Amino acid sequence: MPSLIHAFQAVIKRDIRLAIRQPSEIAQPVVFFIIVVSVFPFGVGSNPDQLTAIGPGIVWVGALLATLLALDSLFRSDFDDGSLEQLILSEHPLSVLILGKILVHWFVTGLPLIIVTPLLGILLGLDKSTLVVLIGSLLLGTPTLSLVGAIGSALTISIRRAGLLVTLLVLPLYIPVLIFGAGAASAAQSGLPTAGHLYMLGAIAMGAIALAPIATSAALRISSE
Give the amino acid at 3. S
DSSP labels for 74-137? TTHHHHHHTHHHHHHHSSS-HHHHHHHHHHHHIIIIIHHHHHHHHHHHHHTT--HHHHHHHHHH
pLDDT of residue 2: 62
What pLDDT does residue 19 have? 83
Report pLDDT for 219. 87
User: Integer distance in angstroms from the first to the last C-alpha of the chain?
Assistant: 29
Angle between helix 111-123 and helix 48-70 axes, rounded to 10 deg: 160
- For residue 139, the model assigns a pLDDT of 95
pLDDT at res. 163: 67
pLDDT given at position 26: 79
CB burial of residue 1 (10 Å; 0-12, 13-18, 19+) = exposed
pLDDT at 38: 87
How many other C-beta atoms are found inside a 10 Å radius of the C-beta of residue 86?
10
Q: What does each C-alpha distance from 45 to 42, 49, 52 come to in angstroms?
A: 6, 10, 12
Q: Which residues contact 131 (CB under 8 A, 6 or more apart)?
A: 117, 118, 121, 122
pTM over the 0.75 mark: yes
In whole angstroms, give the CA distance from residue 97 to residue 87: 8
pLDDT for 103 equals 92
Report, as ranges of residue numbers, the positions in the chain whose pLDDT lies below 50.
Answer: none
Residue 63 neighbours by CB distance under 10 Å: 29
Residue 33 one-letter amino acid: F
